[in-house]
Structure 1
Amino acid sequence: MAISQFWKDREYYTLLEISFIACGYEPQNENLANEHAPASVVNFFRTVRDDLINNGEITQGVRVKRITYPKEDAIKIIDYYGPTGFPNFLKESTEQLPLTDNERDKLLKQIGLLALVLAEKSSRYKRGEKPNANQIATDVQSIIDATELPGKKGTGSSELRDSISQGLKLLRDD
């Protein structure tokens, strides 16, 4: 779940756009949103609108959907009213969101497929008819050791071997 850069780079947002973004959806045009907005978006919009009216910041009958808010205010609105457990998609996040099990499995399958390609291209990377995870991990480790890559954490031989084995197992199980 993410919001495209187009929406992150805007200077101003309507309350309806803020409501979609706060709930993890790409904003839609107003007519479509009125008919097909998810319940979480509608509830968020109504809560903020009602608070704005109750606090006297806007008056009843004002077309709330037409009022725009600068990005800083949109971030504050999402921080204050946003659903629990959702990131504020307008903030520049430096924290890495955890992978879902599905995303993790996809990446492991891709590693397994790369091992299959290596084994097909060179008998050096085969043990019998299967990829040799130990040999692949050893050779990958020697390349990693010879480079100045900053993100080496988690690329030791045992982690590489485990990832290859898990990826191959996932490919067999599907």
Structure 2
Amino acid sequence: MIRFLEYLAVFLLLVVLQEFVFDNINLGGVVNPYIYIMFIIMLPLDTPGWLLLLLGFGTGAAVDFMSGTPGLQAVSSTWLAFVRPAVVGLLLGKDLVYEGGIPTAGRVGTGKFLRYAAVMVLLFNIPFFILEDLSGGGWIIALRIVLSSVFSVGIIYFLHLPFVHTQLKV
């Protein structure tokens, strides 16, 4: 029960930060950081697939509700939760999945964590920005994906540092 409350607090903190701080950052109409996906990125490695999907959808739906983007965040977050097990297996290794725990730089190494976070953020941003701008702005969409991803990964790295020495488990 205590672990549930810890994850609930992290979830609420990230959603509130997203809504009131990071949704207000729009550098030149190109950089829009989405840090709430850190909740999905930092879930325990042994989280069952069905729970990942529910948490991914719920996280995106909560941000959709607060920011008025009907379904856009929910679709992208659910997609991210769907691909997470494959990304974890490819980038972090199957041994870590069996051990459980949360993926942090202290646990998997800074390089591996940054690669993992970067791939996860890119996998979120690609469908998000394409669906957001269906008019097809080509290079502008690509620029938004890359710059927003770089900015988001940097923020997620620094926000995850308090978890480096804390091993939350479900």
What TM-score does the superposition give when structure 1 sets the normalisation length?
A: 0.25
Higher normalized helix content (fraction of residues): 2
Higher normalized strand content (fraction of residues): 1
What TM-score does the superposition give when structure 2 sets the normalisation length?
A: 0.26
Say which structure, 1 or 2, has more relative contact order (CA 8 Å, 6+ apart): 2
